[in-house]
């Protein structure tokens, strides 16, 4: 079964260490009945710049980027079965969680949330996900 690359122009391409070179990452890959979405951050799709220094705004943008990629792959947030979250500052968790809850509008997923250091300066949150399409 071949993997199918999924691309959305409504979400930024990530994975750059040098913006003059192509990214080594796919936004998402469909394999069978699963869609694996690469970690997304709070980047504006047009400028690829961080949208805000506020964790709630960054969370909403990050989830919006994920949602747009999911839609390009034929999925919705309702089909997401797992998410992994990295927060730069674990003290941001309460505000992150409230923005997450509001965005998800009652949808339930499994989720792991850890503290760490996203690779890009100014990025406070990064989230990836897996959706089941079957």
Angle at 16 between CA 15 and CA 22, to 5 degrees: 100
Token pair listed for 36: 């694996």
> C-alpha distances in angstroms, 94 versus 9, 55, 59, 99, 100?
31, 10, 12, 9, 10
> Which pLDDT belongs to residue 14?
76
Q: How far is Cα 93 from Cα 112, in angstroms, rounded to an integer?
A: 12
Closest CA to 74 of 8, 124, 26: 8
Query: How would residue 40 be classed by pLDDT, with cut points 50, 70 and 90?
Result: very high
pTM of the predicted structure, to 2 decimals: 0.95
- Going along the chain from its start, the domains and CATH numbers come out as 4-15+24-132 (3.30.1330.40)
| Across 78-103, average pLDDT | 98
| Across 81-95, average pLDDT | 98
Average pLDDT of the chain is 94
Whether 72 has a pLDDT exceeding 90, the answer reads yes
């Amino acid at each position: 079964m071949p993997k199918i690359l999924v691309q959305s122009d409504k979400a930024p391409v990530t994975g750059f260490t040098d913006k003059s070179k192509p990214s080594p990452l796919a936004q998402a890959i469909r394999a069978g009945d699963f869609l694996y979405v690469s970690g997304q951050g709070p980047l504006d799709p047009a400028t690829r710049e961080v949208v805000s220094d506020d964790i709630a705004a960054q969370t909403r943008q990050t989830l919006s980027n994920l949602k747009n990629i999911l839609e390009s792959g034929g999925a919705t947030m309702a089909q997401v079965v797992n998410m992994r979250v990295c927060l730069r500052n674990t003290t941001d968790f309460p505000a992150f969680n409230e923005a997450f809850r509001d965005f998800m509008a009652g949808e339930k997923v499994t989720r792991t949330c850890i503290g760490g250091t996203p690779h890009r300066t100014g990025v406070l949150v990064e989230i990836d996900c897996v959706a089941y399409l079957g």
